[in-house]
Amino acid sequence: MKRLLFIFLFISCLSYSQQEHAWIYFKDKPNVEASLADPSLILSEEAIQRKALHNTPIDERDVPVNEAYISSLKEQEGIQVMAKSKWFNCAHVIGELDAISNLNTLEFVEKIEFANKNLQDRSLNEEEKMVSKLDSHIDYDYGYSENQVTILGTDFLHENDLTGKGMVIAVLDAGFPNIENLVAFEKLRSENRLLGGYDFHNRSDFFTNPGLSNHGTLVLSTMAAFLEQQLIGTAPDASYYLFRTEVGASETPVEESYWVEAAERADSLGVDIINSSLSYAIFDNPDYSYSMDDMDGETAFVSRGANIATEKGILVVVSAGNSGQSETFPKVGAPADANVLTVGAVDKDRNYVPFSSIGPTADGRIKPDVMSQGLAVVAADEENNLVSVSGTSFSSPIMAGSIASLWQKNPSRTNLEIMQLVRESSSLFDNPNFRFGYGIPDFEKAYSSLIIENTDSEFAISPNPVTDILKFRKPGSQNYNVTLFDLQGQKILEKENVQNEIDLSGFSRGIYIAMFEQNNFRKSFLIIKK
């Protein structure tokens, strides 16, 4: 049995069976047109409202998988269906190689993607043996938890009545034992802000099973706990969904699929933020493992799922990982390599902690994005004890809760805008590196930027998508400062006193963030470059 201690690292010595993992992709979906015409058939009202607020399109990816296809897979000899994904229109199966390969004969199967890289004709570095698995006007008396809150300036948000109220956070983790009884979560329960949860591995609503890992309980307490003079989380008034996606006793690719399923459910429930203190790269069977070259944000199944969650308007906060001291795999794992906010660890004095995984990604992007306290963090365990824990597992939720409290001030801002505000407020924004990323955020500074509201409904851009020249319409004859960022928040263009258009012909195809500023006016747009 694996023990979860201060830094959640392990090496598995399990034997391998003849069973393979694979994703089975389907050719189509049922009732797409009808579902998109009436989104209430497939999404909750909360999800529809959140997407409307952020102008997030509802598209075919929101339509559920054809259950008849799932039933047919279950009927195939030697096949176990473990998970499904509406975003990818696929199912995760386990079975012997021949049994999975035979699924190609089914008329509704488009393609099969094996987790075993040898079966996909992809190379694997056999020397990579180790990586982190579980990453891992108010005046509060924070008690023992004071430093982990104040290091980010989150206490300033709380003092201004920003405590996460009205924001919804989904926690994807390994287990949440005894949540229904712990004193630390009494306020959460009494105010009906524990909205529910699910154990995706056991297909059960019993996500508080005392036999599960306590890792999720510890993680949740850094955000949601309320114990005056002892422990107060960074978003004590937010609402929470708790999803178990991690299987502590093993490390297999199906956990990636559980993660994507949980993210899809979070999207359908109208969740604003996902916190994931999980990292994937090295599996029990090395044939399934990823290499550092795969950490490009586009290769790992879980990273591709995280990218879609971001596209759907969810702000995904992910632990960087605890493998910074590994000689073979010191880099961030998946989905920390995706278009998410990746969080590394510092100590109480703002110093880099050596276990914190580093960047860059395989394609050269800055990771981690930001840093938070991850050494000697105060948390509540499943037996009502306050404990000291360490790992980027805890840097991430401390950050996620702080972001929820900030976003409460202006929930109409998009997830990408909030991510960028957090990066811009950080201590190394103008000089990032691959250990600290953009540094330690200052949420008081982020708040000051957030309250620069757009009060001008006449400001508009066109065309979008754009081929070469992006034009913008504005009142009067004022000029604007224009800044262009990529989706990872890196500044790639800055021009002052721009009159009414900007030339983007030299930029490659993709999605960018364009920010227009003038005096106390600021407005950002997502730009699609053709």
CA distance 30 to 50: 25
β-pair partners for 502: 470
- pLDDT category of residue 134 using cuts at 50, 70 and 90: low
| pLDDT (0 to 100) of residue 460 | 78
Together in a domain, 446 and 466 = no
pLDDT in tens, 443-453: 999 998 887 65
| pLDDT (0 to 100) of residue 90 | 97
Instruction: Give the end of a domain, one of 413, 434, 451.
Output: 451
| pLDDT (0 to 100) of residue 111 | 94
pLDDT in tens, 457-502: 567 788 878 888 888 877 666 788 898 888 777 788 888 888 888 8
| pLDDT (0 to 100) of residue 464 | 77
Together in a domain, 446 and 468 = no
Mean pLDDT of 215-227: 98
| pLDDT (0 to 100) of residue 522 | 76
Mark out the alpha helices in 314-453 (DSSP H runs).
392-407, 415-424, 443-450
Together in a domain, 364 and 436 = yes
Together in a domain, 357 and 332 = yes
Q: How many domains does the chain have?
A: 2
Q: What is the CATH number of the domain that holds 467?
A: 2.60.40.10
* C-beta neighbour count of 203 within 10 angstroms: 9
| pLDDT (0 to 100) of residue 475 | 62
Instruction: Give the end of a domain, one of 390, 418, 451.
Output: 451
Together in a domain, 141 and 182 = yes
Catalytic site positions:
173, 215, 393
- pLDDT category of residue 128 using cuts at 50, 70 and 90: very low
CA distance 175 to 154: 27
Residue (of 184, 185, 183, 191) closest to 165 by Cα position: 191
Residue 122 has pLDDT above 50, yes or no: no
- Average model confidence (pLDDT) for the chain? 89
Write the burial class of residue 386 (CB in 10 Å: 0-12 exposed, 13-18 middle, 19+ buried): middle
CA distance 410 to 452: 10
Together in a domain, 522 and 407 = no
Residue 14 has pLDDT above 60, yes or no: no
Lowest mean pLDDT among 12-16, 17-21, 80-84, 368-372: 12-16
Mean pLDDT of 25-53: 92
Together in a domain, 176 and 200 = yes
Cβ contact 368:437 at 8 Å:
yes
Q: What is the CATH number of the domain that holds 348?
A: 3.40.50.200
Instruction: Give the end of a domain, one of 430, 451, 472.
Output: 451
Select, from the ranges 204-213, 387-396, 478-487, the one with the highest average predicted confidence (pLDDT): 387-396
Together in a domain, 483 and 381 = no
**Tokens describing residue 192:** 């009906």
Together in a domain, 447 and 468 = no
Cβ contact 287:19 at 8 Å:
no
Residue 226 has pLDDT above 80, yes or no: yes
pLDDT in tens, 252-282: 999 999 999 999 999 999 999 999 999 999 9
pLDDT in tens, 150-208: 999 999 999 999 999 999 999 999 999 999 999 999 999 999 999 999 999 999 999 99
More confident residue, 235 or 56: 235
- pLDDT category of residue 7 using cuts at 50, 70 and 90: very low
- pLDDT category of residue 52 using cuts at 50, 70 and 90: confident
Lowest mean pLDDT among 31-40, 90-99, 102-111, 122-131: 122-131
Together in a domain, 473 and 333 = no
Lowest mean pLDDT among 120-124, 232-236, 275-279: 120-124
Lowest mean pLDDT among 247-251, 428-432, 443-447: 247-251
| pLDDT (0 to 100) of residue 102 | 93
Lowest mean pLDDT among 262-266, 335-339, 408-412: 408-412
pTM exceeds cut of 0.95: no
**Tokens describing residue 290:** 């990823």
Residue 378 has pLDDT above 90, yes or no: yes
Number of residues assigned to the chain: 530
Cβ contact 121:316 at 8 Å:
no
For 33-75, give the DSSP string. Answer: HHHHHSGGGTS-HHHHHHHHHTTPPP-GGGSPP-HHHHHHHHT
**Which range of residues forms the domain containing residue 134?**
1-451
CA distance 73 to 100: 10
- pLDDT category of residue 288 using cuts at 50, 70 and 90: very high
Residue 132 has pLDDT above 60, yes or no: no
Together in a domain, 1 and 39 = yes
Residue 16 has pLDDT above 80, yes or no: no
Helix (H) or strand (E) holding 98: helix 97-101
Q: What percentage of the chain has pLDDT greater than the value 90?
A: 73
| pLDDT (0 to 100) of residue 455 | 47
What torsion, rounded to 10 degrees, do the Cα atoms 210, 213, 219, 224 define?
A: -10
* C-beta neighbour count of 186 within 10 angstroms: 13
Residue (of 283, 206, 272) closest to 244 by Cα position: 206
Cβ contact 281:334 at 8 Å:
yes
Together in a domain, 419 and 484 = no
Angle at 35 between CA 200 and CA 55, to 5 degrees: 85
**Tokens describing residue 64:** 């559920």
Residue 10 has pLDDT above 70, yes or no: no
CA distance 297 to 291: 12
